[in-house]
A and B are shown apart, each in its own frame.
Chain A
Amino acid sequence: MIVEFGHFALILALAVAVAQSVLPIVGFFRRDPALMAVAPKASTMQLLLVVIAFSALTYAYLVSDFSLLNVVENSHSEKPLIFKISGVWGNHEGSMLLWALILAIFGAAVALFGGNLPQTLKANVLAVQGWISTAFLAFILTTSNPFLRLAEPPIEGRDLNPVLQDIGLAIHPPLLYLGYVGFSIAFAFAIAALIEGRIDAAWARWVRPWVLAAWIFLTAGIAMGSYWAYYELGWGGFWFWDPVENASLMPWLVGTALLHSAVVMEKREALKVWTVLLAILAFSLSLLGTFLVRSGVLTSVHAFATDPTRGVFILAILCLFIGGGLALFAVRAGTLRQGGLFAPISREGALVLNNVFLTVAAGVVLFGTLIPLIVSAFGGAISVGAPYFNTVFGPLFGATLLVVPLGPLLAWKRGDLLGALERLWAVFAVAALIALAVAWLNGVTHLLAAVGFGVAVWVLVGAFAELWTRARFREAGLAVGFRRLAGLPRSAFGTALAHAGLGLTLLGIVSTSAFQSEAILEMKPGDTATVGAYSVTFDGIRNGAGANYSELVATMTARKGGTVRFVVEPSRRLYTARQMPTTEAGIRTHGLSQFYVTLGGEGRDSGSVVVRMWDKPLVTLIWLGALVMMAGGALSLADRRLRVGAPTPARRAAPALTAD
C-alpha cells in the first residue's frame, strides 16, 4: 500500500513537473504574473511528491518487502540496517530516484531562497528546472521504475553487491549527485538568461553561490569516491582513469572554470557569453557522466546491469539538453551585451588563462574517454587508460598549477607581473630548495618527483602569498597585520584555502607515486618481510564472520628498529547470499602516511598466502587536500551570502593596496 502510494506520488510529480515546465514560460511571454507565480509553488510541490516516493522506496527496503523486484535484486533481510538504507540508491533505479530527489531539492531551494530574484528570471529558471525534472521523471517511470511488483515474491532477496556494502557507498553517490545536479541550477540560469536576452553582473552574483555549492559537493563526491575505491577495491590506487571517474572529473574541471569566470563577470562585467557557455557545458558534462554510468556503453567497474532502452532514453535526454542548450546559445548569445575589456596581464587575464587551461584539460579527458566509443563504432577496439591520461593531462594541469599562485597577486584591469613575481620570490625559493633537497636525497632517478614536490610546495605556500602581501606584516608589524587580515573578506581566505588544498592534494599524489614501497610475496605464518622502513611479520590467520559474510582474517605485525609499531588485519570475505568473495584491505594510518596490506589467494605451498603490501608516504594528503579545498569553498560561500542582494561595485581592493 505504501509502495503504491509512493508510485502514485512519483506519477503526480511528473504531472507537476510538466506544469512547471510550461506555465511559467507562457507567463513570461504573456507578461502574466499569476502564471509565473506557478513556478515556485510547483517546485515545492514537486519536492514534496518526490520525497514521498523516495520515502516509500526506503520503507520497502527497511521492511525487506520482497514483493518489489528492486528490493529482491538488491537487498537481503539479514543485511545491516545502514546498507538497507544505502541500498536504496546502490542500484540503477534507486539511484535515478535519488537524482530526481536532489533535482527537486535544488529546484525548491531556488523557489525558497530566491526571494531577491527578479520574477521573470525566477520563473524562467524554475521552468528550465521543470524541463529537466520532466525528462528524468519520465525516464524513471518508463524505463527504470523501482516500484515494480513481482507476482510471486521470493522468500529472500539476492543481496546488494558486497563491494557496495560499505559506508563509502552510503555517502559517495549522494555527494556526487548533489554536485552534478547542482550544476543544473547554473544551466537553468544560463538558459533563462538566453531566453530573456539579458545578463549582467547581478546574474553572476545569483549564480555563483549555486555553482560554489555544487562544486563543493562534487569535490567531496570525487574525493570520497577516490578514497572508497582506494580502500574497498584493494588495488592500492587512488585514481584509475576509469570512464566513470573521468565522467565526474570533467564537470569538476569545467565547474572550476565556471567558478572563476563568474568572478570576472561579477567584478568586471566581462566574459559574459563565455560564462553562459561554461554553465551549459558544466551541466552537459554532468549529464554525459550520468549517461556513461547508466547506459553501460563503456566497460567500467562502475557499470550496473545494462539495458539498451535506458541507454537510448538517456542519450535522447542528453541530445535534447546539450543540443538544445547549445543551439539556443548559438542563436541568442549575440544579443547579450559584451562587457568590458582588460589588459592581458591582469587578474582577469590570469583567470582567462585558468579557464583556457581547465577547459582544454577537460577537452582532452573527454576525447580520451569517448575515443574508444568512436573507434568501436568503426569496428575497431582500443582502450585508453592511465598512460594516455598521464601523458596528456599531466603537463596541461601542471602548467595550470604553475600559474595558480600568480593570479591572486595581479590587480584587476591592469596587473604588474614583475611586481607579482617579486612578491613570490620567497615562495619560489622555498619550492626550489625543497625540489633540490628531494633531488639530492634521491638522486637523478627521481627528477620528476623533485619537480613535482617543487610545484606542490609552490602552489601550497604560494596560496597564502595574497594574504601575506595584504596583511603587510613586515612594514606594519604583527598587530596591525593581523588586524588587516581580520578585515579581509572571507572570500580571500576561501581562495587561499582552496588553492592550498590543491597543493596538498598534489603533494600527496607526488609523494605516493614516487616514494611508495611495495612488496608482493608469498608468506606463511611466522614469515617476516621488509617493506620500506618496516619489517612485517605474518602472525597467523583466523576465521571470522559478519552479519552476512564469513571471513579469513590475517594478522600482521609491523616493526621498525625492533619495536612493534602497529598491527594490520587484512581479510578476505565471502558474502554468503551471492557466494561472492571480496578483499578487505588492512590499512593503518601513521602520521599522514598509510600502511596498506591486501590478501590474495593461496600460494604455491600449502598454508601460504599471497600478500601485497605498500607503505604509502603522505597518501592521506590526497584526500585531506580535497577537504581543505572544500573548506575554502565553504568560506567563500559564507562571504557570498553576505553579498547577495547587496550589490557592490567592483571596488574590492586589489592586492597591491596603495596607501592605507
Chain B
Amino acid sequence: MTMAMTRKARRLILIGTVGAVLAAAVGLVLFALSGEITLYKTPTELAEQPMTEGRRLRIGGLVEVGSVARGNGGQVEFKVTDTVNAVPVTYTGLLPDLFKEGQGVVAEGKLDQAGLFHADTVLAKHDERYMPKEVVDALKAQGVWEEGQPGGPMPPAASN
C-alpha cells in the first residue's frame, strides 16, 4: 500500500509526524508552565503581595532563631525570615541534616488562606560552603549578607 507513495508524500508524512510530536511537546510545556512552575519569593515579597495562596512557591531565608517547634508524628513548625519579615512554615517529614536555627533554608510548597506555608520539601545548605543561591541574593538585597561567613566564597589561600 505504501509502494505507490511518492517522494513528496513520504516527505509530507515525515514532516507531519515531526510537527505532531513537536506540537504535542509544546502543548505539554505550555500546560506545565501555566501550573507547575514554582515562583521564588522572599518573606518580604510575600508580606507585600499576599495574593499567591494555592500557587506553588519556593521561599528562602534563614530559619528564625527560637521558632522551631516540633509537633506530633514528625510534624515541625518554624519560621523563615529575611530579617525583615517572617513566614510561618509547617512541614511533616525528616528535616535535612543541616537544618539549623539561624541557617539558610529553602522551603517549597503552598501558602494557605491563613498565611501558613505548607511545605512539602525543605532544603538546607548542602555543606558549609554551599547555601541556596536565592537565599544569598535575598540576604544581600536586605543588606545582611557578609562575605566570608559560612556559605560565602572561600578566602583565597593558594600560593604557587
Q: Which residues of A contact B (CB under 8 A)?
A: 69, 148-151, 161, 163, 234, 299, 301, 303, 305-307, 341-345, 352-353, 356-357, 360-361, 363-364, 367-368, 381-385, 387-388, 391-392, 395-396, 399, 414, 520-522, 572, 578, 580-583, 598-601, 603-604, 610-612
Give the residue of B28, B93, B129 whose beta carbon is less than 8 angstroms from that of A395. Answer: B28
Question: How many Å from the CB of A406 to the closest CB on chain B?
Answer: 14
User: For residues 131 through 160 of chain B, which have their beta carbon under 8 Å from a beta carbon of chain A?
Assistant: 132-134, 153-154, 157-160
Closest 8 CB pairs of A and B: A381-B40, A600-B94, A387-B36, A520-B74, A343-B2, A391-B32, A388-B36, A392-B28
Known: A305-B129, A612-B93. A357 touches B28 (CB 8 A): no
Q: Can you list 8 contacts pairing A with B, beta carbon distance less than 8 Å?
A: A150-B159, A364-B29, A383-B58, A384-B36, A385-B38, A391-B32, A396-B28, A601-B95
**Separation of A363 and B132 alpha carbons in the complex (Å):** 26
Chain B hits for A572, CB < 8 A: 97
CB-CB under 8 A from B38, the residues of chain A are 382-385, 387
Residues of B within 8 A of A357 (CB): 21
User: B130 to chain A: which residues have CB within 8 Å?
Assistant: 303, 305
Q: Is B48 an interface residue (CB 8 A)?
A: no
CB distance from B4 to the nearest CB of A (A): 10
User: B28 contacts A391, CB within 8 Å?
Assistant: yes
Stretch at the interface among B10-18, B80-88, B111-119: B10-18
Cβ-defined contact, B94 with A604, below 8 A: no
Q: A343 to B128: give the CA distance in the assembly, Å.
A: 59
Assess whether A580 is in contact with B98, with CB atoms less than 8 Å apart: yes
Output the least CB separation between B47 and chain A (Å): 17
A385: chain B residues within 8 A (beta carbon): 36, 38, 108
Whether A583 contacts B97 in the complex (CB less than 8 A), given A148-B158, A150-B157, A360-B21, comes out as yes
B51 at the interface (CB under 8 A from A): no
Q: Using Cβ atoms and an 8 Å threshold, which residues of chain B touch A363?
A: 25
Q: Which residues of B contact A345 (CB under 8 A)?
A: 2
- Which B-chain residue is minimally distant from A298 (CB atoms)? B133
Given A520-B92, A583-B97, A600-B94, verify A391-B36 contact (CB < 8 Å): yes
B33: A residues at CB distance < 8 A: 388
Q: Which of A306, A361, A581, A603 contacts B98 (CB 8 A)?
A: A581
- Residues A364 and B25 in contact, CB atoms below 8 Å apart: yes
Q: Which A residues lie within 8 Å of B35 (CB)?
A: 387
Q: How far is the CA of A600 from the CA of B99 in the complex (A)?
A: 11
Number of interface residues of B (CB under 8 A): 53
- Bound together, the chains give a CA A521 to CA B74 distance in angstroms of 5
Contacts of A356 in B (CB 8 A): 17-18, 21
| Chain A: CB-nearest residue to B31 | A391
Interface string of B38-76 (1 = CB under 8 A from A): 111100000000000000101000000000001111100
Pairwise interchain contact A522-B158, C-beta atoms closer than 8 A: no
In whole angstroms, what is the CA distance A581 to B58 when docked? 25
Q: Is there contact, CB below 8 Å, between B13 and A344?
A: yes
A392–B29 CB distance below 8 A? yes
**A612 adjacent to B94 (CB under 8 Å):** yes
- Other than the given A383-B37, A600-B95, 8 more pairs (CB < 8 A) read A343-B2, A356-B21, A382-B38, A382-B39, A395-B24, A521-B73, A583-B94, A604-B72
Contact B22 A360 (CB under 8 A): yes
The 8 Å CB contact of B158, one of A69, A343, A367, is A69
Q: Which of A414, A520, A582 contacts B93 (CB 8 A)?
A: A520
Q: Bound state CA distance, A305 and B72, in angstroms?
A: 38
> B132: nearest residue on chain A (CB-CB)?
A299
Please measure, in the bound complex, the distance between the C-alpha atom of A610 and the C-alpha atom of B96, giving whole angstroms: 12
Given contacts A149-B160, A301-B126, A580-B98, contact A600 B21 (CB under 8 A): no
Residues of chain B within 8 A of A342, CB atoms compared: 10
Rounded to whole Å, the gap between the CB of A138 and the closest CB of chain B is 17
Q: Which residue of B lies closest to A602 (CB)?
A: B70
Chain B residues, CB < 8 A from A151: 159
Tell me whether A522 and B98 are in contact (CB under 8 A): no
Name the distance in Å between B62's Cβ and chain A's nearest Cβ. Answer: 16
Contacts of B37 in A (CB 8 A): 382-384, 388
Q: A301-B126, A388-B32, A396-B28 are in contact. Are A520 and B94 (CB under 8 A)?
A: yes
Q: How far apart are A63's CB and chain B's nearest CB, in angstroms?
A: 20
Q: Are B25 and A360 in contact (CB under 8 A)?
A: yes
**Shortest distance between the CB of A413 and any CB in chain B (Å):** 10
The reply to whether B7 and A341 form a contact with Cβ atoms under 8 Å apart is yes
Residue pair A396, B36 in contact (C-beta under 8 Å) = no
Q: Are B94 and A344 in contact (CB under 8 A)?
A: no
**Are A382 and B40 in touch, CB under 8 angstroms?**
yes
Q: Cβ of B25 and Cβ of A392 under 8 Å apart? A: yes
Cβ-defined contact, A580 with B127, below 8 A = yes
Report yes or no: B56 in contact with A387, Cβ–Cβ below 8 A: yes
Which of B25, B93, B128, B133 touches A578 (beta carbons < 8 Å)?
B128
Residue in contact with A520 in the complex, picked from B21, B25, B56, B73, CB distance below 8 Å: B73
Residues of A contacting B157 in the complex (Cβ-Cβ under 8 angstroms): 69, 150
CB-contact partner of B17 in A353, A388, A522, A580, under 8 A: A353
CB <8 Å contact, B158 and A604: no
Q: How far is the CB of B131 from chain A (nearest CB, A)?
A: 9
Q: Please, which residues of chain A bring their CB within 8 A of the CB of B160?
A: 148-149
**A522 adjacent to B21 (CB under 8 Å):** no
A612 touches B31 (CB 8 A): no
* Identity of the chain A residue whose Cβ is nearest the Cβ of B18 in the assembled complex: A356
A610 to B95 alpha-carbon distance, docked (Å): 10
Query: Closest approach, in angstroms, between the C-beta of A343 and any C-beta of chain B?
Result: 4
CB distance from A577 to the nearest CB of B (A): 11
With the chains together, A582 CA to B97 CA distance in Å? Answer: 6
Complex interface: chain A residues within 8 A of B3 (CB): 343, 414
Q: Contact check: which of B5, B94, B98, B127 meets A234 at CB < 8 Å?
A: B94
Chain B residues, CB < 8 A from A307: 153
A150 touches B158 (CB 8 A): yes
